[in-house]
């Protein structure tokens, strides 16, 4: 069901962190616009949490999630969401594309799918004849450079795994045995690939890491610990550039140091997730809606009830889409259109 929603604007305070960079930014951006009209689509699927979105335009979008058996991939044509009703039990977890008929997805049991007019499982990765592998993220650099990453399990332990596709074959990258789950992959316009990993500990502090990947090897460039959202981190794609969320701030990495650009939000409901067009036009996932950072301050563009978790999104020239979910099994697709 789709209905027009009115945005609720709430101002959020900003705090300057002590490690601000005094270096000037490479480009000067005007503050991003905030005059959006919002609509929402609701898909009630109690056993499926959509956690990935991709597409080439506001009328060509895909989302995926691992649950509800025959409702794993959904397509949006600008008017309505469709599913192919093909049975894939608890499997697709991430999706990526650069072309409308060249789309990749990955998920549990080491599986990889490809869409070229229809979805087909085209690869299943195993390690020592076992498929105890979950690919959490996938990234399309180009048609002959696809990267999937996640974790594989050995008894009660798990370790990070990366596989790549060169246009012909998939192969596992030989990396050190790292106790992490690679949850996100992004590239930047300098040709660098970055991964975000998470280490969950049952006792004591958990942690996250940022890695740089050159196609053959990875290098850890940052690690942090967290016990709450206050200390959490993530990758932030702004146009063709990758930035890094550390706590409530975002940083640019120059190859040696992380230089702070600004504070995204001081609100504890910030989900340490977002996407944007540039450093002054960033949309933030919140625990109760979508906020916007314009380089000067942060305000809500659309606010929901509490516990509607908003994390993943995609941005076009005049449109933005975000995925959200509540505790009652409702998946929301928020669509903001510039007036």
Least confident of 21-25, 78-82, 175-179: 21-25
Q: What is the pLDDT of residue 7?
A: 34
Half-sphere exposure of 148 (CA within 13 A, CB side): 33
Residue, of 137 and 3, whose pLDDT is higher: 137
Per-residue model confidence as pLDDT tens digits over 171-223: 999 999 999 999 999 999 888 999 999 998 766 668 999 999 999 999 999 99
3-state helix, strand, coil in the chain (%, to 5): 0, 60, 40
With H, G, I as helix, E, B as strand and everything else as coil, classify residue 282: strand
In terms of Cβ atoms closer than 10 Å to its own Cβ (0-12, 13-18, 19+), residue 159 is middle
What does the pLDDT average to over 127-144? 94
Per-residue model confidence as pLDDT tens digits over 37-63: 999 999 999 888 998 999 999 999 999
With H, G, I as helix, E, B as strand and everything else as coil, classify residue 118: coil
pTM confidence score: 0.89
């Amino acid at each position: 069901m789709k209905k027009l929603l009115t945005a609720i604007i709430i101002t959020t305070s900003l705090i300057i962190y002590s490690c601000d960079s005094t270096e000037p930014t490479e480009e000067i951006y005007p503050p991003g616009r905030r005059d959006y009209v919002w609509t929402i689509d609701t898909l009630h699927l109690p056993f499926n949490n959509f956690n990935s979105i991709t597409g080439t335009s506001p009328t060509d979008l895909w989302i995926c999630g691992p649950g509800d058996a025959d409702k794993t991939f959904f397509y949006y044509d600008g008017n309505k969401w469709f599913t192919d009703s093909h049975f894939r039990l608890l499997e697709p977890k991430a999706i990526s594309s650069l072309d409308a008929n060249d789309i990749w997805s990955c998920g549990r049991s080491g599986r990889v799918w490809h869409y070229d007019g229809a979805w087909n499982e085209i690869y299943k990765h195993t390690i020592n004849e076992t498929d105890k592998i979950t690919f959490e993220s996938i990234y399309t650099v180009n048609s002959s450079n696809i990267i999937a990453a996640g974790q594989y399990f050995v008894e009660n332990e798990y370790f990070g795994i990366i596989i790549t596709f060169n246009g012909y074959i998939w192969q596992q990258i030989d990396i050190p045995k790292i106790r992490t789950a690679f949850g996100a992959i992004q590239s930047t316009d300098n040709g660098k690939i970055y991964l975000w990993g998470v280490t969950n500990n049952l006792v004591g502090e958990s942690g996250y890491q940022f890695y740089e990947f050159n196609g053959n090897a990875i290098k850890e460039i940052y690690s942090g610990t967290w016990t709450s959202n206050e200390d959490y981190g993530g990758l932030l794609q702004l146009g063709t550039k990758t930035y890094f969320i550390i706590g409530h701030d975002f940083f640019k990495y120059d190859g040696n140091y992380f230089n702070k650009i600004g504070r995204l939000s001081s609100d504890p409901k910030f989900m340490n997730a977002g996407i944007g067009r540039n450093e002054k036009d960033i949309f933030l996932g919140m625990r109760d809606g979508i906020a916007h950072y314009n380089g000067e301050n942060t305000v809500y563009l659309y606010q929901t009830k509490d516990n509607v978790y908003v994390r993943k999104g995609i941005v076009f020239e005049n449109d933005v889409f975000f995925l959200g979910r509540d505790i009652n099994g409702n998946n929301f697709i928020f669509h903001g259109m510039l007036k």
